[in-house]
Structure 1
């Protein structure tokens, strides 16, 4: 059974691999890509989203640009990881389909036009678009089947501050807004994603198809030392959506650090915190096998 999804994203190397997996696996009905500033600015994340759709032969899927800025803060970026173009020089086709604007309104209409609970949102970047959806269209947000979010860290050190993860540090107020909303949410934090990495043999084995070759090029650009990749953060969202049995998910009550120091966006355990499901364990071998299967 295919899953009807909206992918909210800021591509980004690992976003790009996650999107190609969703497009090529035959297991998702991707209704649209909504874009947000995060890894790089909104103009580039939107162009990359369109290029990925063209590379996959799916220019029929709309790209709808969203938030160029965080709700209350100055933007941060991850150019040091993803490069000025977001893809470290990996070339995509120039998108033949012009993106539209108004991601939040587009998501609301798409959700309201579909049966309640029939569309999931897979969030790979900062949560600004989703928070604005919950704020301005709460009845539409309540119709999301499930929201799966790459973000945060529980017991692992952060990658934006000592205890803060990049996506959540980009817009802490958006994280708090989403967690307090009436949305069934699962977080995939660094505790899981740091365990899922591709080695050189895994990367080269993807090259049997054009999309697999593009994924291999993206992962090659994502290698740390020519032998192992950085964590495959965003593909874990797609894998959890398809195979929750590969993950150990726990119920937690968490608050969001809304301070102005280096740990803005950090998740804190609190008895009075927001109730949320959090993936804390992963079958790494099973996850990588499933990921590879999407490029055959």
Structure 2
């Protein structure tokens, strides 16, 4: 471990692109992953928790604990996106079963970790709805205040949404949680659709990953190809969640803007949409530009063992 090692917890709802992001972090020498906490999002909590364990088993990292978290949003009904991620959440791609059973109560586990570790020593890499982090803020504010940095995939600023005209899945799945987290004063970087839709894998990209013969790269290729089977149109697919790991590792590939962000907490189809509101918004660092070619190059290198 070096002074530049990113010690982090991954909070996730795997999920095809979550799996690729996790495999990136596990393959990169830059990250020291201390645990994987799960949240209901792309599919139910039992399946997201099992999938986290399966991904770690593929990577040979049964030493990293999986801790089951929130089974539902704070106050809303969640979404079902099995049509995109498959009934198993991983597009039907074969993964080994978890090497060890999961732990329970992600919020208590996170609080304990943050209080034991040096203040400002742990990043949270959030790939799903922010329910666990909102509960941490509400139930253990001192522990939440010890987070070094929260990097979260979510939202859309200038881009259209993917579950509503302006609403993105992760924020729309639990708008109240996002609102709590954004107002909590944590060092936060939001990675919205404005950049994640620019980081796109083609079939040639997945073929090159598969040809490496490396397990993480081949599994990622199969996962991305499953996206092609479950969605129609276009010659490429966006890699949303891997952008969190890419930003954590190489923030120079992204351009940040500090924006006053407010979350739509209404009941209309755009619940969870982000508004740039100078009166009601909270200043958040938002990634708005990305060098997509270099980002894809880095992702492929890490997945391939480089």
Shorter-chain TM-score tier: over 0.9
Give the 5 Å matches for 1:229-268: 229-268=236-275
Task: From 104, 117, 120, give the equivalent of 1:114.
Answer: 117
Counterpart residue number, 2:100: 97
Residue 172 (str. 1) matches residue 175 (str. 2): yes
Sort the Cα spacing of 1:183 and 1:59 in 2 relative to 1 into closer, same or farther, 3 A: same
After TM superposition, give the deviation of residue 2 of structure 1 in Å: 2.0
- Structure 1 residue runs without a partner (length 5+): none
Sort the Cα spacing of 1:280 and 1:197 in 2 relative to 1 into closer, same or farther, 3 A: same
* Residues in 2 aligned to 1:192 and 1:233: alpha-carbon distance in whole angstroms: 8
After TM superposition, give the deviation of residue 96 of structure 1 in Å: 2.1
Counterpart residue number, 2:300: 292
Give the 5 Å matches for 1:67-106: 67-106=70-109
Render the CA deviation track for 1:61-93: whole Å, top value 9, x for unaligned: 000000001001111122121011111110110
Counterpart residue number, 1:283: 291
* Residues in 2 aligned to 1:193 and 1:93: alpha-carbon distance in whole angstroms: 28
Sort the Cα spacing of 1:227 and 1:211 in 2 relative to 1 into closer, same or farther, 3 A: farther
After TM superposition, give the deviation of residue 238 of structure 1 in Å: 0.3
- In the alignment, is the contact (CA less than 8 A) between 1:151 and 1:190 conserved in 2? yes
- In the alignment, is the contact (CA less than 8 A) between 1:123 and 1:147 conserved in 2? yes
- In the alignment, is the contact (CA less than 8 A) between 2:192 and 2:288 conserved in 1? yes
TM-score normalised according to structure 2 size: 0.95
Give the 5 Å matches for 1:1-296: 1-207=4-210, 208=212, 209-223=214-228, 224=231, 228-272=235-279, 273-296=281-304
After TM superposition, give the deviation of residue 226 of structure 1 in Å: 9.0
Moved more, 207-216 or 19-28: 207-216
* Residues in 2 aligned to 1:192 and 1:16: alpha-carbon distance in whole angstroms: 19
- Structure 2 residue runs without a partner (length 5+): none
- In the alignment, is the contact (CA less than 8 A) between 1:199 and 1:227 conserved in 2? no
- In the alignment, is the contact (CA less than 8 A) between 1:220 and 1:229 conserved in 2? no
CA RMSD of aligned residues (A): 1.1
**Between Structure 1 and Structure 2, how many residues are aligned?**
296
